[in-house]
Chains A and B, each alone.
Chain A
């Protein structure tokens, strides 16, 4: 396979990966951040300790985390159909990607929020701050470097999950490697795809680290 043959394939696959990872990252933050806040807040010693709620949330998150992504992707097909009207293609892949990443990110959010000192939270309460303000103006800003680090890990995980999206016709770099590199013995394309994936992950990680460092004033 020549470079001019590979180039359009690579561009298309990279674009598909970017779309899948981009949208699922957005939705993961949208759902995972509040879920993480609830996980941390409902715990004993949290802002709104409610052990019963915490147990339910913890169970749901753990179920989500214990399914291998490829199984989850197939298992949530009915949900995908309801949400996107289709079960195949790039848009359809965003649904299982989001569902797979939300519990993962929520746990990372929980951990990051736990790192915020109890004394800082209490100091804010002693100044008369209500719970909503403590979350928005103390917990989240104080945990921001940790949240960005968690988001970076999540994005890298999503890139890796998205490689399996080929199974439901989502396309992307992983799918390209499987269809051409493996099934058609195009070793060159396989190698190039691997290099592209490594570079993309490296870029995401470096960018995430830089932002986290920039935000940290510890």
Chain B
């Protein structure tokens, strides 16, 4: 749905993007993690060409944006929703007026506009605040308006620029739950950038970590969990330093792994340490196990064979 290749962008001597490739599949929630200054914000703003990259190609929903002229680019942007860290709502307009803005840009008629606005406010649970001004809303409500506005024009893609960074933890969770629901119900593809691990864990199917203008690592989270030496997995699911005689395994789709291992290989499996959380609604993480018994070698071989064995310690 979103493909970025060979993206470069420099501001004077400062290189913000140093050859970035990224692919986000249809219906996927993709999170880019990075510290401030890593270039993730520039990357996101290059996807809808708010920043024009010095080099590279950006394709969204089959259209090569970097090849479009100004008028075509404006039309293409109507199909790309965006939400912002500080909401970026028009203070002079009511909630309904804000949601109507992208529809006005598209030239939607008054009656159809009103219908769509009501529909969108229903979707984000703000139907009763249609006539309020942004200044009268809480941060979470403002972001809901931002989401309703971003989705009013029925975009195929939603870009999220640190959308929860200005919100408290409880509100963050409710906004992330909303994004997840919209992803499922509307099949919406979401590309988000964040510096918070929890955001990645809460909503993302795939993730990438950025530093110094490059993507250091990227992939579906279950795969990252099973990748030895993965920086993302280690940051998302930190485990204490390994003890002798333990192994680290990835826990993803296979929820009954441990009991089956014990049954088929006649081993005892003890958990030495673990980091397991709900990732996109499914338990996932890493476990450090101490496996003992006659079939230990066979059990380890099976884990290794299935690509779940992340670390083996002496």
Q: Which residues of A contact B (CB under 8 A)?
A: 117, 119-120, 122-130, 133, 137-138, 141-142, 144, 215, 217-218
Contacts A128-B105, A137-B104 given; does A218 touch B75 at CB 8 Å: no
Whether the Cβ atoms of A123 and B105 lie closer than 8 Å is no
B89, CB-defined interface residue at 8 Å = yes
Residues in A whose Cβ lies below 8 Å from that of B101: 124, 127, 129, 137
Chain B residues within 8 Å of A127, by CB: 77-78, 82, 101-102, 105, 149, 153
Q: Is B88 in the interface zone, CB < 8 Å from A?
A: yes
Interchain nearest-CB distance for B247 vs A (Å): 48
B48 and A126 contact, CB distance less than 8 A: yes
Interface residue? B294 (CB, 8 A): no
Q: Are B90 and A141 in contact (CB under 8 A)?
A: yes
| Interface residue tally on B, bucketed by range | 20 to 34
- Contact across chains for A130 and B133 when beta carbons are under 8 A apart: no
A90–B78 Cα gap in the complex (Å)? 53
Closest 7 CB pairs of A and B: A123-B88, A128-B77, A217-B133, A128-B78, A119-B88, A128-B74, A127-B102
Interface residues in B100-154 by Cβ distance below 8 A to A read 101-102, 104-106, 133-135, 149, 153
Q: Does B291 contact A (CB under 8 A)?
A: no
Chain B, range 64-102, C-beta contacts under 8 Å to A: 74-78, 80, 82, 84, 86, 88-93, 101-102
Instruction: Give 9 new A-B contacts, CB below 8 A, not counting A117-B88, A123-B88, A217-B135.
Output: A123-B84, A126-B48, A126-B80, A126-B159, A127-B77, A129-B105, A130-B74, A133-B105, A217-B133
User: Can you offer 10 A-B residue contacts whose CB atoms are under 8 A?
Assistant: A120-B88, A123-B84, A125-B50, A127-B78, A128-B75, A128-B102, A144-B92, A217-B91, A217-B133, A217-B135
Per DSSP, chain A at the interface is helix
Contacts of A117 in B (CB 8 A): 86, 88
A130–B88 Cα gap in the complex (Å)?
A: 17
* Alpha-carbon gap, A47 to B90, bound state (A): 17
A23 nearest CB across to chain B (Å): 29
Taking the nearest CB of chain B, how far is it from the CB of A136, in angstroms?
11
Contacts of B91 in A (CB 8 A): 142, 217-218
1/0 contact trace for B205-218 toward A, CB 8 Å? 00000000000000
Contacts of B133 in A (CB 8 A): 217
B90 near A120 with CB under 8 A, answer yes
